[in-house]
Amino acid sequence: MASSIKSKPRKPSPTSRLLPLIDAKKIAQRMPGLAREIERDIKLRERPIAIVVLQGGFIFAADLLRSFSPRFEIDVAFVRCESYGTQTQSSGRVMLLQDIDPAIDLHGRTVLLIDDILDTGLTLKFLTEHLHRRGAARVHTCVLLCRSGRPAVPNTLCGFEIGSEFVVGYGLDYAGKYRHLPGLCVLDQSPPKRKRAVSR
């Protein structure tokens, strides 16, 4: 199943460079605040379950989940989606590559969807609808990043607002690369400046 919007894929450039954007320390400092907000929004009697959106959300989810208080009992499951492929712009189609374990009964449950970035919002819209179809009563979302200027999505918490730049690191990739970087970097794809020739 796929939702679609019009978007123009951009060709990857061979001259990409990495410019630091948010370092690992700043990301770590944001985790307790996000965790406390979630603990306020979600009641334990709702039997919450965190659903981590792979692949981009795996490092963020690992840090966020470990920031919850031990009393905040939350189950964990995974789903895998793709909308970018090897491009730096959404294809406009969200593909469900791996569904949540069918043995998990979501009826009447509160879900916390954890993803890396809210860009066009298609992925989270697609997944929210999918979760409701599987019986979830409420879906909250927590993303590490969201793009400024995009309309707010209800029940969505965001770690940091960023601009339109394409970012990698801390789980986010470009064509499968850079997920392992401890902090977030902008993938600069502008052509490198020419060195001026030195005349003697």
Residue ranges in contact with Mg ion by CB under 5 A: 56
Three-state SS sequence of the chain: CCCCCCCCCCCCCCCCEEEEEECHHHHHHHHHHHHHHHHHHCCHHHCCEEEEEECCCHHHHHHHHCCCCCCCCCEEEEEEEECCCCCCCCCCCCEEEECCCCCCCCCCCEEEEEEEEECCCHHHHHHHHHHHHCCCCEEEEEEEEEECCCCCCCCEEEEEEECCCCEEECCECECCECCCCCCEEEEECCCCCCCCCCCC
Nearer to ligand IMP, 42 or 162 (CB): 162
Give 5 or 44: the residue with its C-beta nearer to ligand IMP: 5
Question: Which residues of the chain form contacts with ligand IMP (CB under 6 A)?
Answer: 56, 83-84, 90, 115-123, 166-168, 172
Residue 166 contacts which entry, ligand IMP, Mg ion, none (Cβ below 5-8 A, type-dependent): ligand IMP
Supply the minimum distance, in Å, between the C-beta of residue 178 and ligand IMP.
Answer: 9
Smallest separation (angstroms) from Mg ion to the CB of 56: 4
The distance of closest approach from Cβ of residue 80 to ligand IMP in the complex, given in angstroms and rounded to an integer, is 11
CB of 165 to ligand IMP, least distance (A): 7
Name the residues annotated as catalytic: 119
Could you tell me how far CA 44 lies from the centroid of its own chain? Answer: 24
Task: Rank residues 7 and 67 by Cβ distance to ligand IMP and give the closer one.
Answer: 7
Smaller CB separation from ligand IMP, 68 or 166: 166
Place of tokens 């793709």: 82
